[in-house]
Amino acid sequence: MGFMPKNLTKEKIKDIQLSGLKWTLKHALGNSSLYQRKYKKAGISVDDVKSLSDIEKLPFLDKEDIQADYPFPLKSVDDKDVVRIHASSGTTGKRKVLCYTQNDIDVWADMFARCYELAGLTQNDRVHIAVGYGLWTAGVGFQLGCERFGAMAVPMGPANTDMHLEMLVDMKSTVFCSTASMALLIAEEIKKRGLRSEIALKKIILGAECHSDTMTARIKELTGVDEIYDIYGLTELYGPGTGLDCSCHEGIHYWNDLFIYEIIDPETLKPVPDGEEGELVITSLKKEASPLIRYRTHDITRIIPGECSCGLSFPRHGKIIGRSDDMFIYRGVNIYPSHIELILSSTDRVGSEYQIHLDHQENGRDSMTIRVERGDGVLSDDDKTLATTISNKIRSQLLVKSNVKIVGDNELPRTQKKSQRVFDHRNENG
């Protein structure tokens, strides 16, 4: 055990990043036709990067680049060196397919093992993996990291609820890994079936989608599990495991010896200062098969300045609060689902599940309806007051009018995958 690199001083990290950036650039420009075309157009060559700040001269890479060169867009090694592919389903267009060499898989396994170490697991832990296996990186990633770390993997995949509960009880798994939605679904079933005393869960590691503090608080309350960790990751950058929050829960530590994170203003595309929110842009330092140079994730977060109370020197970014492409414009205001989520999570007596519906009215104006679940045990008598409280908060904080509809506890659909929050019906029926 001991996957966390030690003695990585700021100076050492700078050296690793500069040589990693130079290597990645040379490798990508030498081998990938996509990068060759892009950099020729931008008039940039390998020699243009002499210091870390020169990264700002390099063109951004976006999901359209990856989709356009389907099926093997960034491939920078010979076919014989590719040992695996993964893909993530874009909401529009072709899947993004990413290739891995054996070395890429090893780096991913080590980086994931760091996550388990940071979450305080030991080799005696039993890790129930409740995310999809296959083209998606989730199941395979949690599994790979678990085996590298040396704990016992219980590779469930999505499975059905009965099977998850049966295995949680029988295997006495101590760690549960899933999407945030799935963790809530299973937590509710554990409570409903009165299984709390029969399970042995100590930690939950969840990610893959935005989730509010209310949601994690609810999962804790339902399961009695005290430690919930937020894991970040994306298919383009290996998969899950690019960072995890430590037990201080003051941000997600990320591995700056393996990649460079920049935060940019998605409008001006200029870097924003540490602490300010913007879009996360990623450059890999060691990826061989599908290197990333200034890849726009469209995830909105911020770099958290200063040291973490845990003492770990790896830097931190905040919770992912949304995706720049999740933003919708309603009556001239730019709104992220997380804005609504924040208002809901600061309101008593509401549950954690919600949906935002946007419609076009006959009078030509748009309307926004928030469907939100009543909190567990809250009576429907209060629905009207609760709805007014929420719509008043939305009006004062986001400056827009909304209809709020309170629905019963557990009335909104649950998913094992990622939850859809925004339903934009404005362009339906012409």
- Residues of this chain that interact with ligand DLL (CB under 6 A) are 88, 131, 137-138, 207-210, 230-235, 239-240, 297, 299, 320, 323
Which residue's beta carbon is nearest to the bound ligand DLL? Answer: 207
Torsion of the alpha carbons at 271, 337, 334 and 316, rounded to the nearest 10: -10
Report the nearest approach of ligand DLL to the CB of residue 209 (Å). Answer: 5
Q: Which residue, 91 or 396, has its beta carbon nearer to ligand DLL?
A: 91
Tokens for 114, please give them: 């760091």
Report the nearest approach of ligand DLL to the CB of residue 287 (Å). Answer: 15
Q: Which residues of 121-150 are buried (b: 16+ CB within 10 A; e: fewer)?
A: beeebbbbbbbbbeebbbbbbbbbbbbbbe
Report the nearest approach of ligand DLL to the CB of residue 130 (Å). Answer: 10
Report the nearest approach of ligand DLL to the CB of residue 362 (Å). Answer: 35
Specify which residues 333 forms β-bridges with: 330
Report the nearest approach of ligand DLL to the CB of residue 178 (Å). Answer: 8
CA distance 26 to 192: 56
Q: Which residue, 214 or 391, has its beta carbon nearer to ligand DLL?
A: 214
CA distance 239 to 87: 10
CA distance 205 to 176: 6
| 3-class DSSP state of 290 | coil
Q: Which residue, 89 or 309, has its beta carbon nearer to ligand DLL?
A: 89
Report the nearest approach of ligand DLL to the CB of residue 79 (Å). Answer: 23
Cα 283 to chain centroid, rounded: 17
Q: Which residue, 13 or 157, has its beta carbon nearer to ligand DLL?
A: 157
Q: Which residue, 3 or 254, has its beta carbon nearer to ligand DLL?
A: 254
Q: Which residue, 66 or 335, has its beta carbon nearer to ligand DLL?
A: 66
Report the nearest approach of ligand DLL to the CB of residue 22 (Å). Answer: 26
Q: Which residue, 297 or 416, has its beta carbon nearer to ligand DLL?
A: 297
Q: Cβ(139)–Cβ(167) under 8 Å?
A: no
| 3-class DSSP state of 392 | helix
The full DSSP string for 163-213 is: HHHHHHHHHT-SEEEEEHHHHHHHHHHHHHTT-GGG----EEEEESS---H
